[in-house]
Amino acid sequence: MPSSPRPLRKLGFLTIGLFDEADPRRGHESTLDLITLGEQLGFDSAWLRHRHLQYGISSPVAVLAAATQRTSRIQLGTAVTPLGWENPLRLAEDLATVDLLSGGRLNPGFSVGPPVHYEHVRGALYPDTGDHEDFSPARAERFLALVRGEDASDFAGTEGIEVYSRRVQPHSPGLADRLWYGAGSLRSARWAGEQGLNLLTSSVVKPEAADPGADSAPDPAPDFATIQAEQIRAFRARHPDGERARVSQGLVVIPTDSATPEQRAKYRAYALSRTPRTLTPQGPNRLLFAPDLVGDSAELAERLHAHAGFREVDEVAFALPFSFEPEDYVQILTDLATRLGPALGWSRSAPGQG
């Protein structure tokens, strides 16, 4: 087995928080139960996706606020918050509040770009400013400045008994150091590095020429792992911390060590149904999806150690499949923490450590 030059240091998981429209509370409570189980199993982090106008968690920040009161050690993240749906100032306030409630455990991940299906939601989301909203990295830079404590107002002082601050309140020292950017292209990876952010990689990348100024066309048959590794190296090349800059990988990884025969069959059928999208770049942006990894922990460890992207990281937030049952997630998380994690060189954090 090839050895990873970066032994696994942090083990996390990512969930969409699926729920039934007829009983949404049950789905949200199930997600909180998973986070609690993750802490009991020794996971270093738990991450929530955003799903707007779908049947997954639309407000991870609110759910994570609840999670802060049920846990004491596990890091809590969003992977990722699409800033196109958010007011940067209000988001900065909410994140600082939840970070303080958590005792400094919040790890907000974010991305830029217009909201998905913007032409259909613009009237509800930005009825008066839809044609003027800026979804470029400038929106992210405004958000970063506010989280870092730069002025949000040109007024500070006292009016009667009301006291006003120039910067976002509450301010949570250290939160800015725990901001992550979800990047899938060389350009976005480089931008994240230049901003001094942490980098979240996932199971989606954009194939492109390594040199953005070159005339050569993207590889017609790109290799996901190689592309992801190139993006990570490009990020670190622009980051002030260089090789020490933090990167977390988020592939779909499903260990089957303690799974029942029925679960194993379901997991393999799930992965097989998603395989066609991994064979060629998809859509107008030619996005490339990584295959889901299913197998026992020894097999998965071998495949991950041979994965060029994984070999560049020492942190992971393995993604849970969207549509499984709670008992499936319990089995998968248990095998991740007790079988696959140790096979990758990870050891459970001691109580009180994060």
Q: What is the 3-state secondary structure (H, E, C) of 133-175?
A: CCCCHHHHHHHHHHHCCCCCCCCCEEECCEEECCCCCCCCCCH
Per-residue confidence (pLDDT) for residue 306, from 0 to 100? 96
**pLDDT reported for residue 209:** 62
Helix (H/G/I), strand (E/B), else coil: 265: helix
| pTM beyond cutoff 0.85 | yes
Q: What is the pLDDT of residue 1?
A: 39
What is residue 215's predicted lDDT score, i.e. its pLDDT?
A: 45
Q: What is the pLDDT of residue 6?
A: 74
Nearest to 184 by CA among 209, 208, 201: 201
Tell me what pLDDT residue 5 has.
61
Instruction: Please report, in tens digits, the pLDDT of each residue of the chain (354 residues total).
Output: 334 567 899 999 999 999 999 999 999 999 999 999 999 999 999 999 999 999 999 999 999 999 999 999 999 999 999 999 999 999 999 999 999 999 999 999 999 999 999 999 999 999 999 999 999 999 999 999 999 999 999 999 999 999 999 999 999 999 999 999 999 999 999 999 999 999 999 999 998 865 444 444 545 556 999 999 999 999 999 999 999 999 999 999 999 999 999 999 999 999 999 999 999 989 888 899 999 999 999 999 999 999 999 999 999 999 999 999 999 999 999 999 999 999 999 998 655 455
Q: Which residues contact 104 (CB under 8 A, 6 or more apart)?
A: 172, 174, 175
Do residues 273 and 205 lie in contact, with contact meaning Cβ atoms separated by under 8 Å? no
Phi, psi of 136 (to 5 degrees): -80, 180
* Partners of residue 81 on adjacent β-strands: 110
The 3-state DSSP class for residue 277 equals helix
**How many contiguous H segments (helices) and E segments (strands) does the chain have?**
11, 14
pLDDT value, residue 284: 86
> What domains appear along the chain, each with residue ranges and CATH number?
10-152+163-343 (3.20.20.30)
The set of residues, in sequence order, having a beta carbon less than 8 Å from that of 68 and lying 6+ positions away, is: 76, 98, 101, 102, 103, 105
pLDDT of residue 214: 43
Note the pLDDT of residue 212. Answer: 47
- Identify the pLDDT of residue 307: 96
CA 183 to chain centre: 10
Structure tokens at 271: 């992965």
